[in-house]
A and B are shown apart, each in its own frame.
Chain A
Amino acid sequence: MKANYGYKDGSGEFFITIDTDKCNSCGDCAKVCPPKVIVMITNDYDEVVPAVAEEHRKKIKYDCAPCKPVSGPRNLPCVAACKPVAIVHSW
């Protein structure tokens, strides 16, 4: 399943896509995410997979900003931690 969390507004599209078919449930992405934007859940089909926590969904543009400085190198711990490349950010 491709789970898209986020929104589109006047300033752009901000989505985190998690491909649960690629995910091996290791939990590393959630472990390395400093503000706990990503958390592990058991979904409706009993798979243990990451999701964007409810309280962050409306503001991931801001919550992920520290990992995405305007100048200097981007460092997305969640993406780097995921060996099967199950996590993609749209911005």
Chain B
Amino acid sequence: MVEFWRWKEYRWTAPDADWKNAGIISCGIDVGSVSSQAVIMTDGNLYAYSNMRTGSNSPDSARRALDWALEGTGLKQENMHFIVGTGYGRINIPFANKAITEIACHARGANFMYGPTVRTVLDMGGQDCKAIRCDEKGKVTAFLMNDKCAAGTGRGMEVFADLLQVHIEEVGDLSFKVDKEPPPVSSTCVVFAKSEASALLRKGVPKNEVLAAYCSAMAHRIFSLLERLGVEKDFGITGGISKNRGVVDRLTKELGITSLTPRYDPQVAGGVGAALFAKSLVEKQRAGQVAR
């Protein structure tokens, strides 16, 4: 059976970097409800990361993500000076030295990926969606979480891809291959949207149009979340859905502003933020030791 929802897992190592010269090797692990990332930074520069599906429990998912990020680098877990856990499963990572919320980590990670001009960050994760405002240092100044349901999230998109039998990575592009933009489905609740979509398909509405209707419903829901918090430029999007232009392009159109282009994969922003917090904590520790 084809698993339409399944996206590709991957890992990355900086091409010309050597960790042996690094003063601080810090690590951030973001265990989300759908995906987990491990990020390793050397002196605050991105060195290696992995992105994989979260398994049935947080400790294992964290372990597997870290092992994969370390793979081929010659680094071992013992070489990490500090590990910060974040995300939904952050309190369940036994080998992390500290847990920090994903809100703080995404803001800090966005500051790294998009630069210090970013003031509004939208994190579209697996199970919830967060609108964050931050200052030039990536410190959170305001946030709003959509705590209610899986609408506008990676999980919702997976369910939908499966229903329509479209590979999840293709949803965005296909949703623009329509003669005219259809009205959004009235519900973004995964359960209702699913039955609404089935009804549209039965009526003979083309698949791409149903995709478009769902993407635009998701975009609109996220828009209203952002509107409540207030959007200040510059704007950056993190998390898995940031790669789905079916949602992103419709959202930025409604907002009337474009989003910045990230320097790195925006799905690892939470992990990057966690690794940067880890680096600061090492610096603090070392400064404390010198003072004493």
Contact = CB atoms under 8 A, between A and B. Distances in A.
Interface of A: 1-9, 13, 15, 43-45, 57-58
Given A8-B228, A13-B228, A44-B100, A2 B147 contact: no
Among A5, A7, A44, A57, find the residue whose CB has the most chain B CB atoms closer than 10 A: A44
Given A44-B100, A44-B101, A7 B142 contact: no
18 contacts: A1-B140, A1-B141, A1-B143, A2-B133, A2-B142, A2-B143, A3-B142, A3-B143, A4-B142, A4-B144, A4-B228, A4-B229, A8-B146, A8-B224, A9-B148, A43-B101, A44-B101, A57-B147
A45 B139 contact: yes
Contacts of B101: 43-44
A71 B139 CA distance: 42
Contacts of A7: 146-148
A71 B100 CA distance: 42
B104 interface: yes
B100 A8 contact: no
Among A1, A9, A13, find the residue whose CB has the most chain B CB atoms closer than 10 A: A1
A58 B142 contact: no
Interface string B218-231: 00000011001100
B133 to A, nearest CB: 8
Contacts of B141: 1-2
A45 B144 CA distance: 17
Contacts of B139: 45
Among A4, A13, A15, A57, find the residue whose CB has the most chain B CB atoms closer than 10 A: A4
B30 to A, nearest CB: 14
A65 to B, nearest CB: 17
Interface residues of B, number: 20
Given A5-B147, A57-B145, 17 more contacts: A1-B143, A2-B141, A3-B143, A4-B145, A7-B146, A8-B225, A8-B228, A9-B148, A15-B228, A43-B101, A44-B100, A44-B101, A44-B104, A44-B140, A45-B104, A57-B147, A58-B148
B220 to A, nearest CB: 12
A5 B100 contact: no
Among A2, A15, A45, find the residue whose CB has the most chain B CB atoms closer than 10 A: A2
Q: Which 6 A-B pairs have the closest CB atoms?
A: A7-B148, A44-B104, A2-B142, A4-B144, A57-B147, A44-B100
A5 B228 contact: no
B229 A8 contact: no
Among B104, B141, B143, B145, find the residue whose CB has the most chain A CB atoms closer than 10 A: B145
Interface in B100-151: 100-101, 103-104, 133, 139-148
B223 to A, nearest CB: 12
B229 to A, nearest CB: 7
A40 B133 CA distance: 22
Nearest to A44: B104
A40 B31 CA distance: 25
A58 B133 CA distance: 22
Among B104, B145, B147, B277, find the residue whose CB has the most chain A CB atoms closer than 10 A: B147
